[in-house]
Amino acid sequence: MRALALADINSNSNSNNTKTTTTTTTTATTTKTKTATTINPDRPFLTNYRCLWARFPTKQAGLSPGAWNETHGTGCAIQLFAGEGTSVIAIYERLEKPTRERIRFGPDDEAAFVARWGDLPLAKDLTVREAYAMKLQAGLVGLEEGVVRTWSWGGCVVLVGDAAHKFTPSTGAGCNNGMVDVVVLVNELYAVLGGGGGGLGQDRRGGKEEEEERDEREEAIAKAFEAYQTKRRGAVEKFCAASGKATDASTWKNGLVKFLDVHVLPYRRVQRFFLDRGAPEIANTPVLEFVEDGETLPAGRVPWVESSAGARAEPKSRKVAGVGA
């Protein structure tokens, strides 16, 4: 079975990166269907921006914990978030030309970046250069964007987090979506395997019977992987697009977004409108379905929704203490 699957990969990758095949193999005892096997392109992500990030001590920088700031401009934008102990900045710069090549930056690139944008103010009496000089950690990275087409291979390999989808960090959604991926995937696997792992790794009997059971289990896991992708795909595509748009707007990619960024989006009513539109989806964030409730979550205007992973449910309060409208 595996050898045949590999032959499939090769024939697909030789012909057309977008092709989907279903392979049916007949053995002495059973007919088994290998599920859809789509090969992803070598470079699925597009890089439009590079980003210098740095972490530095809040107190030394003269910032108050909780302070934050966004500065927008042509081709460049800055975000600053001050925490209790340390603060973080991200400086976004649009590339001259988008690329699908993987970009790696070295110390010279980082120094040139700081030389270019170092004079920009982060706060009163604090510039990018000064904050960078206090850095505890820093890095210059290409911001890859996109959603990989196929997230799993049979019941053997499955992608979560940045391996499956990458966003610009403007909306702080990348890592969060990776964690939601894991929640949805675990729910799907739990439904198939149960809490004990469905006997994974416990085959003792050997021979044909064991092989059949293993194939059946692999097929069930493959279906769980596919269900996971189906449930997550729409959401991550939306988040990816929204993050890209936020970065475009903050770096004034064109006259229209500059106009909206300067004259429309700063109004609190407009911001509230967009936040309210997004809130129901956040309230419906998937949870581990097999874990008993009991967690106390902060209450907000929009109540948490008890839902199966990715499925929309009628809004109702999550069954936890202290949560409600």
Ligand X SMILES: Cc1cc2nc3c(=O)[nH]c(=O)nc-3n(C[C@H](O)[C@H](O)[C@H](O)COP(=O)(O)OP(=O)(O)OC[C@H]3O[C@@H](n4cnc5c(N)ncnc54)[C@H](O)[C@@H]3O)c2cc1C
Q: Which DSSP string do the residues of 49-108 spell out, in sequence order?
A: EEEEEEEEETTTTTPPTT-EEEEEETTEEEEEEE-SSEEEEEEEEEEEEEE-S-----HH
176 sits near ligand X (criterion: CB under 6 A): yes
Record the tokens describing residue 105, joined without a space.
């930056």
235 sits near ligand X (criterion: CB under 6 A): no
142 sits near ligand X (criterion: CB under 6 A): no
Record the tokens describing residue 47, joined without a space.
């890089």
Q: Which DSSP string do the residues of 272-305 spell out, in sequence order?
A: HHHHHHHHHHHHT----TTSPP-------SSPP-
- The one-letter amino acid code at 55 reads R
110 sits near ligand X (criterion: CB under 6 A): no
Q: What is the DSSP letter of 149?
A: S
Sheet holding 165-166, edge to edge: 68-73, 76-82, 86-99, 46-57, 137-147, 165-166
- Choose the binding region for ligand X from 108-116, 165-173, 220-228, 266-274 (rule: CB under 6 A): 165-173
Footprint of ligand X on residues 41-60 (CB under 6 A)?
A: 51, 53
| Spatial contact of 310 and 235, defined as CB atoms under 8 Å apart | yes
141 sits near ligand X (criterion: CB under 6 A): yes
- Choose the binding region for ligand X from 5-13, 35-43, 160-168, 243-251 (rule: CB under 6 A): 160-168
Closer residue to ligand X (CB): 47 or 187: 47
Which residue in the block uniquely carries the two structure tokens 């972490």?
A: 55
Closer residue to ligand X (CB): 37 or 243: 243
- Choose the binding region for ligand X from 60-68, 107-115, 174-182, 317-325 (rule: CB under 6 A): 174-182
Q: What's the number of CA atoms in the CB half-sphere (13 Å) around residue 317?
A: 13
Closer residue to ligand X (CB): 180 or 249: 180
154 sits near ligand X (criterion: CB under 6 A): no
Footprint of ligand X on residues 119-138 (CB under 6 A)?
A: none
Closer residue to ligand X (CB): 172 or 324: 172
Among residues 174, 244, 286, 310, the one that binds ligand X under rule CB under 6 A: 174
98 sits near ligand X (criterion: CB under 6 A): no
162 sits near ligand X (criterion: CB under 6 A): yes
| Position of minimal CB gap to ligand X | 161
Record the tokens describing residue 257, joined without a space.
């977004």
Q: Which residues of this chain interact with ligand X, rule CB under 6 A? A: 51, 53, 90, 141, 161-163, 169, 172-176, 178
